[in-house]
A and B are shown apart, each in its own frame.
Chain A
């Protein structure tokens, strides 16, 4: 089958005068783990609400399994949602919560309990069947919410910042479990987050959103290595950005005039084009070893982060240009040092926006 599981076609949405989604189209494949990544106000949560049926878009259509679901009620569409605050029913036991969807389908009590137990076992909470939600920890509630949504076997599971309420350590742990559970059940997950590490760890398909638009989408490795836009280059991981203009174009490389001097970059753009060059921190060297020389800079800040040092330096040629580099933990730079800056030609990402 080549038809996508979910097909969002030219969806726009406004809350009053405020346009929160601007002509968004997106396809989601069966069995994939999709992350909608963006800052708050980027429209990612609204897009999820439209998929879940809680919001009807102002314009555009949503197809799920080939059917037009644009105005179908949440109950009637093959999606279920895991809410950010979990929205567990506080007066029901964990078993009652997980069995609720089946109860609504008219499934008898015994089958319901059996299926609920099975799903709870899947999320690693078999022992919590008779407990009340308030007796559980945050991470456990998260799993109950997941089980409750999975037990009715939706075609698409929607997760609204599911790890947002957890502390960092638990978040990383739940992240791994989410991925494992998704692989086991094979359901397509669509997961909203503003945490780029979460996005890189979980996604098969990463959708970067900003200001109601999709900036970039693809496998996280590709989005990281070759971001399509300047926003994507700075939101999905950090980058040093050099604004410039193409002054010479040859076969596969161009010369770009930047504040840090002339730089050879891999591009086929014509002379005169305005470009931005992005360099990932791990590709920047604070010595003259790289083929591309970026002038000298003065180190402003060194932050020790365990396995590496994150170093900020200001260009001597243009004080508004700031270099961000990731150096080995053993590096001996100190604030105030003057260093040469360089990188390799093929590590430079050329952005045209």
Chain B
């Protein structure tokens, strides 16, 4: 009975891993295809499609745009999220529960609807489609996340730590800079990192709110119109590689923090 469960477990886990990895393996494998179609038989390995990606200025500038929108919108979201979390955690505000609910409300609405709303509003107000508009949308989706993460980490212990600092003579702004921000750094960092990944990967809001200059997911989408193409594989594999490096770095800094 025991060994049967073990073998069945292994078989099942391997099958699920296979299912999870199948598309990724196919993607990466055929990004190294030498011929023009990313379908069997495999004709590579060749790096020609990576060359094609890196010399495509539309893709490279979209990548820069994506990084810009992701970093600026995440910085904005985490700043607003942190300040409001601090405000709600430390002070008694009338209607606090309701206001906190309002800030986290966008979490329950799909990106498509948030993007639609902004499109209708901007269209009505005459705001042109741009990276800035998409960035605003990205703050809308990431602010509640940053707020929720940071707010959940502000416990009684942190309150006492801040009190101790005030007791020892620190004015409010020094409490914030010397105590609260460093103590909350892991939560702030986590909020920023999550926002970065969500913004980096976000499609529908960028698709609705940008026109000429756009982000990488939208540019990849445009590429898809040409059908199956090893160039798309190459772009996808590059994004995957960059993300993996970032995740590993994130894990390592987290581990080092824990050990330090």
Contacts and interface: CB of A to CB of B under 8 A. Distances in A.
Interface string A115-133: 0000000000000000010
Contacts of B166: 73-75
B170 A104 contact: yes
Interface string A36-68: 000000000000000011100000000000000
Interface in A66-82: 73-75, 79-81
Contact of A83 (B160, B169, B182): B160
B92 to A, nearest CB: 12
A207 to B, nearest CB: 22
A216 interface: no
A85 interface: yes
A87 B185 CA distance: 17
Contacts of A105: 169
B160 A87 contact: yes
Contacts of A132: 260
B22 to A, nearest CB: 44
B58 interface: no
Contact of A87 (B163, B170, B171): B163
Contacts of B183: 89-91
A104 B168 contact: yes
Contacts of A81: 163-164, 167
Contacts of B168: 75, 80, 100-101, 104, 148-149, 152
B160 A85 contact: yes
Contacts of A54: 163, 167
B157 interface: yes
Given A75-B170, A101-B168, A104-B169, A83 B185 contact: no
Contact of A80 (B167, B170, B174): B167
Contacts of A85: 157, 160
A87 B157 contact: yes
B169 A152 contact: yes
B241 interface: no
B163 A74 contact: yes
A101 B157 contact: no
A191 B130 CA distance: 62
Nearest to B182: A91
A90 B185 CA distance: 11
A49 to B, nearest CB: 10
Nearest to A77: B167
Contacts of A80: 167-168
A156 to B, nearest CB: 12
B176 interface: no
B89 to A, nearest CB: 16
Contacts of A91: 182-183, 185
Contacts of A90: 161, 183
Interface string B182-195: 11010000000000
Contacts of B161: 87-90
A241 B58 CA distance: 91
Contacts of B68: none
Contacts of A74: 163, 166-167
Interface in B141-185: 157, 160-161, 163-171, 174, 179, 182-183, 185
Given A75-B169, A101-B169, A104-B169, A87 B174 contact: no
13 contacts: A54-B167, A75-B166, A75-B167, A75-B169, A81-B164, A83-B164, A87-B157, A89-B161, A91-B182, A91-B185, A104-B170, A149-B168, A152-B169
Given A83-B160, A89-B182, A104-B168, 14 more contacts: A52-B167, A53-B167, A75-B166, A75-B170, A80-B168, A83-B163, A85-B160, A87-B160, A87-B163, A88-B161, A88-B164, A100-B168, A105-B169, A152-B168
